Structure 1
Amino acid sequence: MHVKFCGFTQLDDIKAAVKLNADAIGFVFYPPSPRAVTIEQAQILSAAVPAFISVVALVVNMPEDELIELANHVSFDIIQFHGDETPEQCRQLANLVNKRWIKALRVNTEQDALESVNMQIDSFAAAGASSILLDAYHQHKYGGTGARFDWSLIPNDSSLPIILAGGLDADNVAATYDLPIYAVDVSGGIESDKGKKDVGKMHAFMKSVKRDRWQNETLSESSNISS
């Protein structure tokens, strides 16, 4: 299980996340978001992220010229398209700046079915996505709602590795170990306020992930030995 911490605005929070061995650090480049950072802020923050921890740039319906400017001034590894971008738009935009990319799908528990989720994932896989992120749908927001969707809509046979987001925290992340996912993405669940992380909550989240991962692996090994 890989862990992405997202929505950083403070340098000290970045340093704390690095010490906790987060796999990825996310920056939000969407001005309406309370977690948004400017290019100038991101330059300072991303410089504190060492090698082998991925820097993810979250964008929402960003125009070509703005994405090119962002890539020319901020060192990031992966684009997270979190808006209404089509598979082809994602492919074209990512190719412009020569970056790997993931796409966020907002799952509507009341309207979506497992088949439709699978079909959407397949379309982004065909366009070259590296992974898919599943988040909760909100009529007026593109993410960061802290809400969960119906996890039964997560496909078992996805054509892309799945990253789970939406309403995760230290108390419920253990429940994700039975899900067919590759990683978890958390923002609000590790905050004291929008864009301001809580070191205690970050530590508790990572501790929960590592503890349950160790227990899971131990149980699996014991089962293999006994069989």
Structure 2
Amino acid sequence: MKVKICGIKTIEAAKHAFKCGADALGFVFADSKRKIKVLEAKEIIEALPEDIWKVGVFVNEDPAKIKEIAETAGLTHIQLHGEELLADFRSIGLPLIKSVSVKSQEDLKEIEGLNADYMLLDSPPGKYRGGNGSSFDWDLARFLDQSNKNKILAGGLNPENVKLAISKVNPFMVDVSSGVETNGEKDFIKIKHFIKNAKTAGEEI
């Protein structure tokens, strides 16, 4: 099971997540309490191994602006959380992750028409797009094509529920942000437990 820790703001949190086995780190460039400046992300990314995903999170941002940020910071993947048309972002030249807010079976039908490299199943947005700490009904995943290997599960995950979520959705990757935080900051113990639980759940399936 692959694991993404999103909302990274410090080198210490990034290195700890990688040391614990994270496969991807997310850097938020959209309006959020976890928003990071481009040069701050660049400094963190330069301290990371090449093989870990460095994902930039955006909401309805101009493709040219995203390309500029990606090249400056050293991003490897682009995650889109707005109403973007994926064709507008192909010229960036990086794999695209498209977020889909899941409230009902109807929302899952939207996935069938997406031409994203990866599809991120998330809970409906709150104050911000993503990172709100709420989950959707994982039982809805039974309506998905189970052969689909590019699903990323997000929304309300934490060290205590990630095994159950994986057993219901069987995603390619799980994505967590607020679920590994204490008082709005990354909690190193929670990060370690989340990654361990996710990895062992993946081995059990």
Q: CA deviation at 1:101?
A: 0.4
Q: Which residue of 1 aligns with 2:49?
A: 50
Letter in 2 for 1:34: K
- Contiguous gaps of at least 5 residues in structure 2: none
Q: Which residue of 2 aligns with 1:80?
A: 79
Could you list the per-position Cα deviations for residues 141-193 of structure 1 after superposition, in whole angstroms to 9, with x for gaps in the alignment?
31111001111222331656211111111100110232232111000011123
Cα distance in 1, alignment partners of residues 126 and 27 from structure 2: 23
Question: Aligned to 2:144, which of 135, 145, 156?
Answer: 156
Q: Which residue of 1 aligns with 2:87?
A: 91
Which protein has the larger Cα radius of gyration, Structure 1 or Structure 2? 1
Q: Is residue 144 of structure 1 aligned with residue 131 of structure 2?
A: yes
Equivalent pairs: percent with the same residue?
33
Cα distance in 2, alignment partners of residues 201 and 118 from structure 1: 30
Cα distance in 1, alignment partners of residues 70 and 32 from structure 2: 20
Contact 1:117 1:153 survives alignment (8 Å): no
Q: Which residue of 1 aligns with 2:110?
A: 120
Summarize the Cα distance change of 1:117–1:197 in structure 2 as closer, same or farther, 3 Å threshold.
same
Superposed, 1:187-198 pairs within 5 Å as: 187-194=177-184, 196-198=185-187
CA RMSD after TM alignment: 1.7
Letter in 1 for 2:202: R
Cα distance in 2, alignment partners of residues 139 and 190 from structure 1: 18
- What TM-score does the superposition give when structure 2 sets the normalisation length? 0.91
Could you list the per-position Cα deviations for residues 29-55 of structure 1 after superposition, in whole angstroms to 9, with x for gaps in the alignment?
11x201001111111111122021111
Contact 2:138 2:165 survives alignment (8 Å): no
Q: CA deviation at 1:77?
A: 0.9
Q: CA deviation at 1:207?
A: 1.9
Letter in 1 for 2:151: I
Superposed, 1:195-214 pairs within 5 Å as: 196-214=185-203
Cα distance in 2, alignment partners of residues 9 and 211 from structure 1: 27
Cα distance in 2, alignment partners of residues 43 and 161 from structure 1: 27
Contact 2:108 2:144 survives alignment (8 Å): no
Q: CA deviation at 1:84?
A: 1.7
- What TM-score does the superposition give when structure 1 sets the normalisation length? 0.83
- Contiguous gaps of at least 5 residues in structure 1: 218-227
Q: Is residue 10 of structure 1 aligned with residue 10 of structure 2?
A: yes
Look up the SS of the partner of 1:171 in the other structure: coil
